[in-house]
Structure 1
């Protein structure tokens, strides 16, 4: 049985109790996708599932993908590749990180983990990285590394969306609203596709910008969704003191760790909207925990440099 066997159990839904929810008279459960697998958790498990199954089916020995220095996708691809018997290559944004690999691996938990799982790392400039989807650049990579299955940054493609369509199950039909953090748009697209007719989806982007609507529309024709852009805490990979304190409070009260890049922005947003009376009474909300807890160590290093409070949860 491999990691993506059909026998893999769906994640469990956990009820959240809090005075803010009680006062708003709404119900909130969290789908614990973060508990699917220690190293390949949440939406990364879902996105990689069919990509890696197809890679094996077509006889690829190597998978190549892209990401930043603290990328959940890079870490999960390295781990899943090792489990599946596939070689992995990570094209990493930031050529300066490759000048002293030993120092980089010592200081960066994500890249050290990926390297330990057998991933070969290639560091490129930010300018080069912006052209990561160009046919010319992809052809250069194929010439350098040979035949390989290329998965885009964040893992989003048709196969990833297919995997994310399995997040919701028949038992989730009792919810009125499904909430998801949004990065590249693949996860929420799969969720939207598998919603029941009476359900609506709210996405909480982890980054600034209005381009995500267009991305999501590439993968779904449904219109029962909207994005709330007010809770990104300054942009992708950013968090403030209020966000850190919320993560620590939530772990203390609910015994659930939230990641600082994606999930906290969604849960913080739901609580704030509930406090403002946005949701109708007796609304049943299901929020998807997309994992990403491996990024906590890296975020704490950034917070320490800025002399901000630290996240008191270690992965």
Structure 2
């Protein structure tokens, strides 16, 4: 048993207890306060590669409340990289809390209209970016690329130090964290399943994204499952039902979920448990990937459900 056992928190929810499922929450949001959650894992080997290639400047993309932008800015300050953030949409002053935090940590912010932003993965556009900003190490939106997967895969070994488990579940946005968990399970030959809960509407395309990432990592055919019915209307949508669920979860278990990813994850996992998706007697670990700073974009979060 290692001294980070506090990161694994039992969630004795009535649905889990009724169905005989042991539900645990891995608090990846607490591993590194400056770089919380899956973003640190995705960045780990990218930062090493950037240094190996002689880069001192990171450039990446994100929306105005992007957890990824905040993580790259924090990593730049910690590891002495200059950072540039290309932000979707128009500039607004004063800066929202996420972008203010990025700027305070030294990130230079530049804004792209939505039409231009959609070109962010095109080779011609990236070549123009390098001409404009000079030598840069480009990190994709969300930090998902082949180098992101090994850092995420390491979580499987960390979990196995604490518990046996039958499934490990994570919210899916770009698919990188889900692919990394599937990779970790395949590398370990561990008989558990990686479960993704999509945070965005129309997420069936993620199957191809995850498959491509796994193939690049030499793990083509690694198993995973993706559930696309818990998006609550689309990415960054927070209807009253989801907000109330998150408020109640915090009241019951003392854990604040984020509004974009982990709120949907826990709602989805509990619904799957209630529907009998996981066998009685099984252990399911849900991964809290951080992102609580995103509440600033939703008018904040009260600590208790409204009466």
Q: Calculate the TM-score normalised by the size of structure 1.
A: 0.88
The CA RMSD measured in Å over matched residues stands at 1.8
Distance in 2, Cα, partners of 1:91 & 1:145: 11
Could you say what secondary structure the match of 2:70 adopts?
helix
Distance in 2, Cα, partners of 1:194 & 1:10: 20
| Structure 2 residue 236 is matched with structure 1 residue 262 | no
Aligned to 1:299: 298
Matches within 5 A, 1:1-315: 12-94=7-89, 96-97=90-91, 103-105=93-95, 108-169=96-157, 170-171=160-161, 174-195=164-185, 196-209=189-202, 210-220=204-214, 221-300=220-299, 311-313=301-303
**Number of residue pairs aligned between Structure 1 and Structure 2:** 291
Which stretches in structure 1 are left out of the alignment for 5+ residues?
1-7, 301-309
Which stretches in structure 2 are left out of the alignment for 5+ residues?
215-219
1:41/1:291 contact within 8 Å kept: yes
1:78/1:118 contact within 8 Å kept: yes
Aligned to 1:5: none
Aligned to 2:217: none
2:183/2:222 contact within 8 Å kept: no
1:46/1:163 contact within 8 Å kept: yes
Distance in 2, Cα, partners of 1:223 & 1:122: 38
Q: Calculate the TM-score normalised by the size of structure 2.
A: 0.90
Distance in 2, Cα, partners of 1:133 & 1:10: 40
Could you give the per-residue CA deviations for residues 3-28 of structure 1, whole angstroms, max 9, x where no partner exists?
Answer: xxxxx979821111122211111100
Distance in 2, Cα, partners of 1:89 & 1:15: 39
Deviation at 1:223, TM superposition (A): 4.2
2:251/2:303 contact within 8 Å kept: no
Seen in structure 2, the aligned counterparts of structure 1 residues 296 and 50 have a Cα distance that, compared at 3 Å, is same
Seen in structure 2, the aligned counterparts of structure 1 residues 229 and 172 have a Cα distance that, compared at 3 Å, is farther
Could you give the per-residue CA deviations for residues 183-217 of structure 1, whole angstroms, max 9, x where no partner exists?
Answer: 10111111001114421121101001210000000
